Amino acid sequence: MTRPPGPAISNETTPSPRPADAGRVSDMVSSPRLPVLWLCGGSGVGKSTVAWLVFNDLAGQGALVGYVDVDQIGMLFPACDEDPDRHDFKVDNFTGLVANYRAASAQVLLVSGVIDPERGGDFADRAVDAEIVFCLLTVDESTLRWRLSTRGWPAEAVGDSMGLSSALTKAPFVTTTIDCADRTPESLARQAATLITPISSRPVTQQLPSSDLDPGAGEITVVTGPRAVGKSTISWTMAERLTLS
């Protein structure tokens, strides 16, 4: 399949409150709150790809960096009647993860995933241990259509993704927008990295909070193995069967 021509390269972003040379471990600042860079947007814009590149770059510089895919912490089937979109479930999980990462001496946290344009601010309001920068990634419709078609997604997924991106441009918690059209993932990662600076200070203790999980509450199955053996495929198939059973 031939990729359609995209518009001229755009490097414009909305103004960022952070300095242009932020994002380097050598520029670490002291703060009691964990810096979080959340890359959001519709499906196919490059959230996970760019977030992983920033993650690897900061880790390569020696920073203690964490990564969270917010979609992974919202998987609960069937959803509760009181929380059909699993929004509160994800907010609670994220809040706990931030506290645990901070207690484990993490200096910066990368997050990628879809976020509700109307209620996304709940993550910042409830995760008081975090200082979150929400960065919206956008792409033109023709490029998005090509990307999703290569994944085998239905045509209507393009409209859904564009609609979500449009709504997020109006979300008050989004402070920065990066146009991904005709940009390499590496160049996007370099730009996104300027929005975050790891902290130099660490907690007095690295002891993680103890879990109050009842051992008899249920069973946990861990599927593990070396890379590319099919862990995710097998786990997802198991989850689908349990959901449908």
Alpha helices in 140-230 (DSSP H): 141-150, 156-168, 185-193
Cis amide bond preceding 35, omega within 30: no
**8-state DSSP, 84:** T
Q: What is the pLDDT of residue 162?
A: 94
Residue with tokens 């879990």: 211
pLDDT the model gives residue 13: 40
Q: How far is CA 41 from the centre of its chain?
A: 10
Residue 109 bridge partners (DSSP): 36, 66
C-alpha triplet 144, 77, 245: angle, nearest 5°: 115
Tokens of 132: 């979150």
Provide the 8-state DSSP code for 229.
Answer: S
**Sign for the pseudo-dihedral over CA of 84, 89, 94, 97:** negative
Across the chain, which has 245 residues, the per-10-residue mean pLDDT values are: 38 38 49 90 94 95 94 89 94 95 93 95 94 96 91 91 95 95 94 93 55 68 89 86 77
Task: Specify the pLDDT at position 183.
Answer: 93
Q: 198 is written with which tokens?
A: 């790891």
> What are 178's strand-pairing partners?
13, 137
Distance of CA 187 to the CA centre of its chain: 18
- Beta strand pairing call for 108-112 and 34-40: parallel
